[in-house]
């Protein structure tokens, strides 16, 4: 309470000083008038209210034709969904709006935004949003912590024009971003962006899966690879092949193409390049400064760039991260198909359609032959061995490889007093999931553990494994015990 009043006072002071500075700096009359009319528009008039049009990549909302600020209502829904990461490979993505990257938001400098963040009731985790276009604590994250089945609202004013990344900032932040929680928000300058023929939305991200590139099936997140910054996949628009074949971007010769390029990371910096094109213009880092005649532009993690070029001659132009193994072996490759009249003066050669197909895109490994076919454990040691595999697949992403957890987010299950105090309660946690405040080794946790789809046998095995690791009390959990607990509904 005290701190928030203090913060407000400091903010108010900041704004007051900022305004004073503005007054003294406007020596020319025109600028003064502009400020005055803006003040009138912002202060004494109620802004017209409009609902933001949001789009999925690679589409971009229409340019803003308005010449005045508005109150723009943005409604963004977080969902956790299983989708394709590559052919035969699935991943549980956490999304802003149902796919990766999140919906494209387009507003105008000076707009007042009423931002609604909804977290779908089926979500397992709380989420929030940090928009880099926001001037304020956490870019909105501080005001939008949203539990599953909840909606939060906050307002902000778009002070600076530019192309900005937004992302989830809920702990563990890296994991939320690695699961796909990022997108772009464009704040168009007051005067608008110059008109072009085609606009597209392309966003890079790196993904960390347990299995190698191409290993089939539903792949869990791998915290160890993420910490080492060694991604299994680097992709544009959320999956290998999201911008190739039928889904390639298109343009006609003579058209000007504008790409809104973002990089969600979480780790890598992109050396964004279009093979066979030169960017006539690059709005560096998504800001106001325009560079010209650029081959490759750096897009930082949590950053963006706007690139523009004229499609002079027909053919297939390949979008890559020019850290080139990422393109040909990890997925960071897209395509722009330009159709229309040849211009032999600009380019005379033969155009080959196939040379740029990703080398690794069709690599399909057979399922791991060592994978056990739902075996049944005969002994306690057998249970421990089988339980280890269940743990790696289902628990490790949150509770970590040594069961140590992540402070503030995932409680430890190594030497856990909560776990060791009550076996039936622990079975219940895994069988039913867990929500609400608990205390583990003196630390409070108030989060959600998802209900996992595991058989009674698998739960018995994984808990026997956990109980016989990391200083826990060494008991065996049987399938019969699990069956009994499963039949009793959760106590809260
Ligand atoms: Cu999140």
Binding site residue list:
127, 132, 167-168, 176, 181, 322
Residues with a beta carbon under 5 angstroms from ion ligand 1:
127, 168, 170, 176, 181
Q: Is residue 473 part of a domain?
A: yes
Q: How far is the CA of 202 from the centre of ligand 1 (A)?
A: 21
Task: Give dist(CA 237, CA 93) in Å, integer.
Answer: 12
187, 100 contact by CB (below 8 A)? no
Give average pLDDT by consecutive 10-residue segment, the chain, 492 residues. Answer: 42 43 41 49 74 97 96 97 96 97 98 96 93 94 92 96 97 96 98 97 98 94 95 98 94 97 98 97 98 98 98 93 95 94 69 47 38 66 92 82 84 96 96 89 86 88 97 96 88 54
At residue 114's C-alpha, the angle toward residues 111 and 116, to 5°, is 140
Same domain, yes or no: 52 and 188: yes
Q: How far is the CA of 336 from the centre of ligand 1 (A)?
A: 31
What CATH number did the domain enclosing 427 receive? Answer: 1.10.760.10
β-bridge pairing 249-252 and 296-299: unpaired
Q: Which residue has the tokens 């005001």?
A: 143
Same domain, yes or no: 78 and 54: yes
Q: How far is the CA of 182 from the centre of ligand 1 (A)?
A: 9
pTM: 0.65
User: What would the pLDDT profile of 36-76 be if each residue is shown by its tens digit?
Assistant: 455 555 555 689 999 999 999 999 999 999 999 999 999 99
Which of 174, 193, 212 is the endpoint of a domain?
Answer: 193
Q: How far is the CA of 138 from the centre of ligand 1 (A)?
A: 14
Same domain, yes or no: 450 and 478: yes
Q: How far is the CA of 177 from the centre of ligand 1 (A)?
A: 7
Q: How far is the CA of 139 from the centre of ligand 1 (A)?
A: 14
Q: Provide the number of structural domains found in the chain.
A: 3
Q: How far is the CA of 23 from the centre of ligand 1 (A)?
A: 41
Structural domain containing residue 176: 46-193
Q: What is the pLDDT of residue 9?
A: 45
Cα dist from 195 to 64, 108, 280, 492, whole Å: 11, 15, 14, 58
Same domain, yes or no: 319 and 419: no
User: What would the pLDDT profile of 406-438 be if each residue is shown by its tens digit?
Assistant: 877 789 999 999 999 999 999 999 998 888 889
Report which secondary-structure segment, H or E, holds 228.
helix 223-228
Q: What is the pLDDT of residue 375?
A: 63
Strand partners, 107: 187
Task: Give dist(CA 391, CA 387) in Å, integer.
Answer: 6
Which of 339, 355, 388 is the endpoint of a domain?
Answer: 339
Name the DSSP letter for residue 139: G
Q: How far is the CA of 469 from the centre of ligand 1 (A)?
A: 30
Name the DSSP letter for residue 221: B
Binding site residue list for Cu cation:
127, 132, 167-168, 176, 181, 322
Cβ-in-10-Å burial (0-12, 13-18, 19+) of 35 comes to: middle
Q: Is residue 144 part of a domain?
A: yes
Q: How far is the CA of 272 from the centre of ligand 1 (A)?
A: 26
Q: How far is the CA of 109 from the centre of ligand 1 (A)?
A: 27
β-bridge pairing 333-339 and 249-252: parallel
Q: Is residue 25 part of a domain?
A: no
Same domain, yes or no: 185 and 276: no
Task: Give dist(CA 334, CA 349) in Å, integer.
Answer: 22
Q: How far is the CA of 217 from the centre of ligand 1 (A)?
A: 23
Which of 150, 75, 87, 82 is closest to 120 using CA atoms? Answer: 150
Q: How far is the CA of 152 from the centre of ligand 1 (A)?
A: 14
Q: Which two structure tokens, joined as six digits, stand for 240?
A: 């290998």
């Amino acid at each position: 309470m005290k701190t928030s009043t203090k913060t407000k006072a400091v903010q108010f002071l900041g704004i007051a000083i900022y305004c004073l500075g503005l007054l003294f700096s406007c020596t020319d009359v025109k600028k003064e008038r502009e400020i005055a009319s803006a003040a009138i528009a912002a202060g004494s008039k109620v802004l017209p209210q409009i609902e933001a049009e949001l789009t999925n990549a690679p589409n971009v909302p229409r340019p803003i034709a308005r010449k005045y600020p508005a109150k723009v209502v943005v409604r963004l829904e977080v969902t956790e969904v299983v989708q394709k990461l590559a052919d035969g490979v699935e991943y549980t993505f956490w999304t802003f709006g149902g796919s990766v990257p999140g919906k494209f938001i387009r507003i105008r400098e000076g707009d007042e935004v009423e931002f609604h963040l909804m977290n779908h009731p089926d979500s397992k985790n709380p989420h929030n949003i940090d928009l880099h276009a926001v001037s304020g604590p956490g870019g909105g994250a501080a005001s939008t912590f949203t539990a599953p089945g909840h909606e939060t609202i906050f307002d902000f004013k778009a002070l600076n024009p530019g192309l900005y990344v937004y992302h989830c900032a809920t702990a563990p932040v890296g994991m939320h971003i690695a699961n796909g929680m990022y997108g772009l928000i464009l704040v168009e300058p007051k005067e608008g962006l110059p008109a072009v023929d085609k606009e597209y939305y392309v966003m890079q991200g790196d993904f960390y899966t347990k299995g190698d590139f191409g290993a089939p099936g539903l792949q869990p997140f791998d915290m160890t690879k993420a910490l080492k910054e060694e991604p299994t996949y680097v992709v544009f628009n959320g999956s290998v092949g999201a911008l190739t074949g039928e889904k390639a971007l298109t343009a006609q010769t003579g058209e000007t193409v504008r790409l809104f390029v973002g990089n969600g990371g979480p780790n890598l910096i992109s050396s964004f390049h279009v093979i066979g094109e030169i960017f006539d213009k690059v709005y560096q880092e998504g800001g106001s400064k325009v560079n010209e005649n650029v081959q490759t532009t750096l897009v930082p993690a949590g950053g963006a760039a706007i690139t523009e070029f004229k499609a002079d001659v027909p053919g297939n132009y390949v979008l890559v991260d020019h850290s080139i193994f990422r393109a040909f072996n990890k997925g960071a490759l897209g395509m722009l198909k330009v159709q229309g009249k040849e211009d032999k003066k600009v380019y005379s050669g033969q155009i080959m359609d196939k040379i740029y197909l990703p080398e690794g895109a069709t690599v399909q490994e057979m399922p791991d032959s060592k994978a056990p076919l739902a075996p049944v454990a005969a002994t306690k040691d057998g249970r421990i061995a089988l339980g280890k595999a269940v743990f790696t697949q289902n628990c490790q992403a949150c509770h970590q490889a040594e069961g140590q957890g992540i402070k503030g987010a995932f409680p430890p299950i190594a030497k856990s007093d909560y776990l060791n105090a009550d076996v039936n309660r622990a079975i219940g946690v895994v069988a039913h999931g867990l929500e609400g405040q608990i205390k583990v080794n003196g630390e409070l946790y108030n989060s959600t553990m998802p209900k996992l789809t595991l058989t009674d046998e698998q739960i018995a095995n994984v808990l026997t494994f956990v109980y016989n690791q990391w200083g826990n009390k060494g008991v065996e959990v049987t399938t019969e015990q699990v069956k009994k607990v499963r039949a009793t509904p959760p106590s809260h």
